[in-house]
Amino acid sequence: MLYFVFTIDGDWKEYFDVKLSDHERFPKEKVLLDLIQREIDIVDKILKSRFIHFVHTLPRVRDFFLEKSFRKLWKELVKNNGDTGLHCHEDDPYKRYCYHDASMMEHTITGEAKKVQKDRAGYKVLQERVFRFLRRDG
């Protein structure tokens, strides 16, 4: 049997544009709240909300997508049969990459997952049994 899991990666357009200043590359809250709400509405109609939205986190804006206004959307998504996952960007595009630093990645994944789990806003894809595989396989 073959299963498909519909996922949405939570990047934003300006993130990758190195021609912009650091300030201009920051996510725009109102724009992203609107886009994510439309995403949830569309996927609810088409897939009955059975999808995973991977929440973007990175050093530049570590908890931006965990602010109250976004947590409300993640809770709505989970309540309606969807789920959230963690999309770690331990980088600054085209400048610095930290994916090779296992201790940094583990610290980020564990810390961010705990922040979301305490509000019961999803992250079922990051259960403790999954951490064992991440640790074992480096």
Given this model, what pLDDT does residue 98 score?
Answer: 77
Q: Is pLDDT above 70 for 17?
A: yes
Query: Which range, of 10-14, 108-112, 128-132, averages the lowest pLDDT?
Result: 128-132
Whether residue 100 lies inside any domain: the answer is yes
Q: Which residue has the tokens 């959307």?
A: 73
Residue 92 within a domain: yes
Contact 107, 62 (CB under 8 A): no
Choice between 71 and 118, residue whose per-residue pLDDT is larger: 71
- The confidence band for 118, taking pLDDT boundaries of 50, 70 and 90, is low
Average pLDDT over the chain, rounded to an integer: 79
Residue 35 belongs to some domain of the structure: yes
Residue 77: inside a domain: yes
Structural domain count, the chain: 1
Stronger pLDDT, 6 or 92, i.e. the higher one: 6
User: Has residue 2 been placed in a domain?
Assistant: no
Copy the structure tokens of residue 105.
């990645």
Which residues span the domain enclosing 111?
A: 7-137
Query: What span, in angstroms and rounded, lies between the C-alpha atoms of 85 and 25?
Result: 23
pLDDT at 35: 93
Among 40, 35, 46, CA closest to 12: 35
Q: The whole model's pTM is what?
A: 0.76
- Average pLDDT estimate for 90-94: 74
Q: Is residue 1 assigned to a domain?
A: no
Sheet holding 52-57, edge to edge: 7-9, 52-57, 83-88
